């Protein structure tokens, strides 16, 4: 009887340990809004477009436009970030059902949305040709070398998240707390991709922007198991081992 009680005790301890450990590994979802967002273009390399909308376009005839977004990660344990993505809100509906976007990131490269231009944006370089995007790969990292495919027509006000797997790894290994993204098209296209900046109060049709429309970094944090959870796991493991031996 004592042995059976012992078995029951350790089996219950094992179950409690496993349950506690599962709870400790539950994730916490978070949203971090951008500190800066802007639209810049090679056609006007010394101009800043800091209004309600930023546009991505890669047109060899007359334009090469980028959306730039900056985040301050101070206070975030970057090594615990998982499932990260860049979320934006469509300022204008896109009827083109397929967009293949270029997504680049920079680490520790600061800029100010009030005066940054194509010429001064870290990670870009002006080469005078609309047929080349002009990214500076000594500063910018290509997070989606084949492009990030966005499929389906996007209605005005739709929130779209760009979340290549490489983004999480990039954040985990950052050396600073300043993270920026550069978004354009992967290949030549006469289409556009228009997103609402944090300054926007209305969408293209005039309706109010939805709550949380600002460009945002969305991610989960993987919690660190508490010492009590680890201790319970050890107790449960001993119980399971004893049960096998008995």
Query: Which tens digits make up the pLDDT trace of 118-168?
Result: 999 999 998 888 778 889 999 999 999 999 998 877 899 999 999 999 999
Does position 209 have pLDDT exceeding 90, yes or no? yes
117: left (phi over 0), alpha (psi -120 to 50) or beta: beta
b/e code 60-75 from CB counts within 10 Å (16+ = b): eeebbbbbbbbbbbee
Helix, strand, coil in percent for the chain, rounding step 5:
20, 35, 45
Q: What is the pLDDT of residues 194-208, one digit of tens each?
A: 999 999 999 999 999
* 155 phi, psi to nearest 5 deg: -75, 155
pLDDT above 90: percentage of residues in the chain: 60
Does position 234 have pLDDT exceeding 80, yes or no? no
The pTM of this model reads 0.80
Q: What is the pLDDT of residues 174-194, one digit of tens each?
A: 999 999 999 999 988 878 899
Which position has the higher pLDDT, 106 or 62? 106
pLDDT at 154: 86
The residue assigned the tokens 């007359």 is 62
């Amino acid at each position: 009887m004592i042995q059976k009680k012992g078995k029951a005790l350790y089996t219950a301890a094992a179950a409690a340990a496993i349950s506690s450990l599962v709870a400790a590994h539950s994730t916490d979802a978070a949203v971090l809004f951008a500190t800066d967002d802007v639209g810049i273009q090679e056609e006007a390399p010394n101009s800043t477009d800091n209004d309600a909308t930023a546009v991505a376009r890669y047109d060899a005839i007359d334009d090469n436009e980028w959306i730039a977004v900056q985040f301050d990660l101070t206070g975030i344990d970057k090594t615990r970030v998982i499932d990260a993505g860049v979320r934006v809100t469509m300022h204008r509906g896109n009827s083109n059902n397929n967009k293949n976007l270029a997504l680049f990131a920079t680490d520790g490269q600061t800029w100010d949305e009030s005066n940054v231009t194509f010429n001064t944006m870290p990670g870009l370089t002006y080469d005078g040709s609309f047929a080349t995007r002009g990214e500076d790969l000594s500063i910018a990292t290509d997070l989606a070398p084949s492009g990030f495919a966005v499929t389906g027509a996007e209605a005005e006000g739709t929130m779209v998240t760009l979340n290549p797997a490489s983004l999480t790894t990039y954040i985990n290994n950052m050396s600073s707390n300043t993270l920026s993204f550069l978004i354009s098209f992967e290949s030549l296209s006469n289409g556009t991709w228009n997103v609402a900046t944090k300054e926007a109060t209305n969408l293209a049709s005039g309706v109010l922007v939805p709550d949380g429309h600002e460009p945002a970094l969305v991610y989960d944090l993987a919690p660190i198991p508490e010492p009590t959870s680890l201790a319970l796991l050890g107790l449960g493991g001993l119980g399971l081992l004893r049960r096998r031996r008995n």
